[in-house]
Structure 1
Amino acid sequence: MSLITNVMDHSLDDGYAETAARRRADGDGGMPKTLRAKLGLAGGLVLAALIVTVGAAQARVAAPVVAKERGELIDRIDQETEAVDRLEDSIDELRADVSVRQRDALRDSGGDGSTLVGILSGAVAVHGPGVRLVVNDAKDTSVGGGSDARSTSGFSDTGRVRDRDMQRVVNGLWESGAEAVSINGQRLTALSAIRAAGDAILVDNRPLVPPYTVLAVGDGGKLSERFQNSADGLYLHALQENYGIRTAISVEDDVRLPAAPRVIVRTAQPITEKGTS
C-alpha cells in the first residue's frame, strides 16, 4: 500500500518536475513573451488557417468539375459501347449475306456438283456416316519409354498431345477417304492450320483443350479400317503404347459437322479456253 501511495503522490518524476520548475524560473516555458514572438505565432496560425481555407474552397469548386468530367466520360463509354454493338451486328449481317452469296455462287457455277464443292471446301454444314476419334493426354504426362515414336519430329519425352500429332491424325483421315473433318467442333478446310502456342494447340488460331474429338464424314467402316492401318494410324498407336496417350475410335451412323466460320480465297485467276488470249 505504501508503494501505491507513493506512486499516486509522485505521479511525475522528480527530474521532470525540477526541469519544469527551472524553465519557469528562467522564463523559457509557456507562451512567447516578446511582441515579435507573439506576432510570429499569430502570423503562422493565420497562414495555416488561410492554407486550409483555400484548400477547402478549391476542393469545393473542383468537385462539380470532376463530377461533370466523370459523367461525360461515362456517357462516351456508353456511346462507344453502343457503336461497337452496332458494328458487331452489322458484321454478323454481312457474314450471313456473304455465306448466302457463296452458296448461290457454288450452286450457279458448280451445277450438279455444287453440293460436293461446298462440302469439300467447308462452306456448308454436313452430316452423315463416319468415325469419331478421341485423342487425349496421358494420365501422367511425364511418362515415356521404349522407342521414341516422335524423335524425328523433335518432340520431348512426354505424354502430352502435340500439334504435330493432330496434324498427322487429320492428314491420315483425309488420306483414308474422309470427306469432311472437324476438331472439337472446329471445321477444317484446305486452308486450316494446326499450330502450337506453348502447350496449347491452335486450330485456325483458336485454342483447343483436350480431349480432342475428331469427327470425320465418310464410309465409317472403311474409313476406320484404312486409318488404323495407315502410317498415321500406326503412329498414333505407337504414341499410345510408348507415351500412354489415350485414343478411342468408333464408327458412327451419323456425325454432324458445322460449316467453317469463313472460307477465304487468297488468290484466284480466271480460267481461259485454249487458243484464247
Structure 2
Amino acid sequence: MSQQPPDRSTHAPRSRPDASMSLLTHAMEHSLDDGYAEAAERHAAEGTRGLPKTLRAKLGLAAGLVLAAAVVTVGAAQAQVEAPVLAKEREELIDRIEAETETADALEEDVDGLREEVGERQREALEKHGGDRSGLTLLLAGATEVTGPGVKLVVDDAEQTDAGGGGPRDSGDFSDTGRVRDRDMQRVVNGLWQSGAEAIAVNGQRLTAVSAIRAAGEAILVDNKPLVPPYTVLAVGDGQRISSTFRSSADGQYLQVLQDNYGVRANISVQEELTLPAAPSLIVRNAEPKGGGSDQQAAETGKGTS
C-alpha cells in the first residue's frame, strides 16, 4: 500500500484573528481581577458580604454614620453663622472706603478752592499796587490770560529713539536717543524768551518767572506737572520777529542739531492769534512797603526758566 508523502508545506494552521491582541482580549474578558473575584467568593461563602449581621457591627456602623452626619451638620451650621459676619465686615469695609474717599475728595476740592482764592488775591494785589504798569506786571507775573499773535513750536521725540551720533549730547548726561529731554525744553523756552516772547505756555502750562522745567525719570515736568509728547510751546509776541530771531539764535541752532543728529522732530509756525491761560498759582517772592507808612507793595517779577 502506498503512503502519502508527508505535507511539507510552510503554511501554518489558521489562527484566531485576534491572536495578536491577546493581552487586550484577556483584559476585556476578565474585567474583574482574579484576586478581587476570589475575595468576593470567599466573603459570600462566609456570609460576611453586604450589611453587618451582628448587633455590635450594626451599632458601630450606625455610630459612624451619626458621627459623619454630625460633622457635616456642624460644618454647615458654622459656615451659615460666619457668612453674615463676613458679609457685615465686608460691608463695613466698603462703607469706610467710600467715606474716606468722600473725605479725600472734599479735601481736594478745598485745596483747589484755596489755591484759586490765593491766586485771585495775589492777582488783585498785583493789579492794585502795580500803578500805571499794572497790566505789564500782571502779564510778566503770568497772573492773567493772554491773547495775541505769536508762534507755535511743536517738539516731539524721534520716530525711532535709538538714533545718535555727535552733537551737543556727546556727554555722559545723555544717552544717544531721539527722546526729548528736560534740558532741551529749557533751551527752547529760554531761546523764545530771548527772541522777544512776552508770554509762553507748554502743553497748556503757563510759565512764570519762577517756573521750573525738570525731569522725573523719562517724564518732563513743568512746575511739577508731568507732560507727554508732543510738546506744544506757544509764545505770544511779534510772531515773525520771534520766529526769525529764534531760528538764528544759539538755542535755535541747538534744536536744529537735535533734528539733524537725533531725529527729534520740530516745527515752528507763525500764528495770527494765540490764547494762553493764566498761571494756576503765583508765588510772591518779595513784598515790602514802598515808602514809609505806605501800604503799596512791589512784587519782584522777571523772565527766564530754570
Per the shorter chain, which TM-score range? 0.7 to 0.9
Aligned match of 2:120: 100
> In the alignment, what sits opposite 1:180?
199
Measured in 1, the distance between the counterparts of 2:190 and 2:36 equals 95
Q: 1:162 corresponds to which residue?
A: 181
Whether contact under 8 Å (2:150, 2:272) holds in the other structure is yes
Q: Distance in 2 between matches of 1:153 and 1:187?
A: 31
- Counterpart residue number, 2:111: 91
> CA deviation digits over 1:5-60, x for unaligned, max 9?
x9998653444311322355567765567766655544333222222212222222
Aligned partners of 2:243, 2:110: CA distance in 1, in Å? Answer: 43
> Which residue among 146, 155, 163 is the counterpart of 1:135?
155
> Unaligned 5+ residue runs, structure 1?
none
Unpaired segments ≥5 residues, structure 2: 1-17, 19-25, 293-306
Do the aligned partners of 2:191 and 2:251 also contact (CA within 8 Å) in 1?
yes
How many angstroms apart in 1 are the aligned matches of 2:171 and 2:245? 24
What are the equivalent positions in structure 2 for 1:5-154 lying under 5 Å apart?
A: 11-25=31-45, 39-145=59-165, 147-152=166-171, 154=173
State TM-score, norm by structure 2.
0.76
Q: Secondary structure at the match of 1:72?
A: helix
Q: Name the CA distance, whole Å, in 1 between partners of 2:243 and 2:170.
A: 26
Residues 119, 280 of structure 2: 8 Å contact kept: no
Report the number of matched residues.
272
d(CA) in 2 for partners of 1:153, 1:230? 25
Deviations 1:167-217 (A, max 9, x none): 110111112221211111111122222222332222222222221111111
TM-score between the two structures when normalised by the length of structure 1: 0.83
- Classify the secondary structure of the residue corresponding to 2:281: coil
Q: Secondary structure of 1:84's partner? A: helix
Aligned-pair distance for 1:262? 1.4
Amino acid across the alignment from 1:68? K
**2: distance between equivalents of 1:37 and 1:191?**
94
The offset of 1:153, in angstroms, is 6.6
**Higher fraction of helix:** 1
What SS is found at the alignment partner of 1:127? strand
CA separation in 1, counterparts of 2:96 and 2:263?
A: 55
CA distance in 1, matches of 2:123, 2:247: 35
Determine the C-alpha separation between the residues in 2 that align with 1:187 and 1:95: 16
1:131 match: secondary structure: strand
Structure 2 contact 239–270 (Cα < 8 Å) conserved: yes
The answer to whether the Cα contact below 8 Å between 2:127 and 2:137 also exists between their aligned partners in 1 is no
Q: 1:30 to 1:128 in 2, by over 3 A?
A: same
In our comparison, the structure showing a higher alpha carbon Rg is: 2
CA distance in 2, matches of 1:237, 1:214: 16
Over 3 Å counting, the alpha-carbon distance change for 1:41 and 1:192 in structure 2 is farther
Q: Which aligned pairs between 1:225-264 and structure 2 lie closer than 5 A?
A: 225-264=244-283
- 1:153/1:247 CA distance change after superposition, 3 Å: farther
Task: Tell me which residue corresponds to 2:226.
Answer: 207
SS in 2 for 1:182: strand
Letter in 1 for 2:231: Y
Q: Deviations over 1:132-168 (max 9, x none)?
A: 11111222222234x3221147322222211111111
What secondary structure does 2:130 align onto?
helix
Tell me if the contact between 2:219 and 2:228 (Cα under 8 Å) persists in the aligned partners. yes
Counterpart of 1:55, as a letter, is G
